[in-house]
Amino acid sequence: MVMKVPFLKNRNEKVHDRKQNIPEHIAIIMDGNGRWAGKRGMPRFAGHKEGLSSVVKIVKAADKCKVKMLTLYTFSTENWKRPKREIDFILKLPKEFLHVYLPDMIANNVRIEAIGNMEELPVSTREAIQFAINSTKDNDGLQLNIALNYGSKQEIMNAMKDMFADILDSKLSLDEVDEQHFSGYLHTAGMPNPDLLIRTGGEKRLSNFLLWQLAYTEFCFTDVLWPDFSEKEFMEALGEYQQRKRRYGGL
Ligand code: IPE
Ligand code: IPE
Ligand code: MG
């Protein structure tokens, strides 16, 4: 039987995380926007727009369940292969989202962060994200990481280059290099690894998302398309996670 995670009526209510086994960090590959629109005879961008309402719902649901960190895959380094019109539309969405919902995020003590290569993004997208990061930097509620122009292989390559540069500059010795040290060169430096990965939209692949960080993460794949993914499906994924026994190679 799937254990239900009780919703908290009061956000100050104390939760015994370990008892309830709530994942500390959830990462989501929000896939299926285009197919959602296609099924309705609508253009792909309509699916991306509708996907924003799922983002709002899931941020709220995660916050309610006392999840500490939520990382959302918004645009991958491979998504540049798409038609320019679609790319332009997707890259305008963070600004649109933040314009409407940033006050709500601030009021709810959400802290916004970003991972990915920000330099290649349009200035207006970058500015909107940076404004959200600055405006929420002192918040200590749910941390929302927006993965934008993110690609794990690129992240690992750049981390390696930066680490080698520090070794060549004698800022770091080869003997000091270990997993923990290397993790400090990734975009996710200082963040806990995801406990649970959810991918919507039916595909069962990582699509270059957090390859290093997901080494021991629990995976939950669902056929539900991202715009249809609501609090109900989110709670089901949490329930599934609660049934898992994480062994990390032990017994
Ligand atoms: C996910 O939905 C959003 C992004 C990748 C930006 P898709 O646009 O990939 O939708 P499908 O997979 O084609 O249905
Ligand atoms: C993964 O979805 C990227 C995001 C959700 C941002 P894609 O739709 O780009 O993945 P593939 O192409 O099916 O692997
Ligand atoms: Mg897709």
Dist CA 123 CA 26 (whole Å): 29
Residues lining ion ligand 3 (Cβ < 5 A) are 31
Dist CA 251 CA 245 (whole Å): 10
Torsion of CA 121, 128, 207, 160, to 10 degrees: 70
- Give the pTM: 0.93
Question: Which single residue is written with the structure tokens 């920000």?
Answer: 118
Give the residues surrounding ligand 2 with Cβ less than 6 Å away. Answer: 29-31, 73-76, 78-79, 203, 205, 207
Domain ranges of the chain: 2-7+21-152+194-242
Q: How far apart are the CA of 173 and the centre of ligand 3, in A?
A: 42
* CATH architecture under which domain 2-7+21-152+194-242 falls: 3-Layer(aba) Sandwich (3.40)
20: pLDDT confidence band, cut at 50, 70 and 90?
A: confident
In short, whether 227's Cβ falls inside 6 Å of ligand 1 is no
List pLDDT tens digits, range 66-115. 999 999 999 999 999 999 999 999 999 999 999 999 999 999 999 999 99
* Region 206-219 average pLDDT: 98
Q: How far apart are the CA of 175 and the centre of ligand 2, in A?
A: 38
Active site residues: 31, 79
Dist CA 72 CA 83 (whole Å): 22
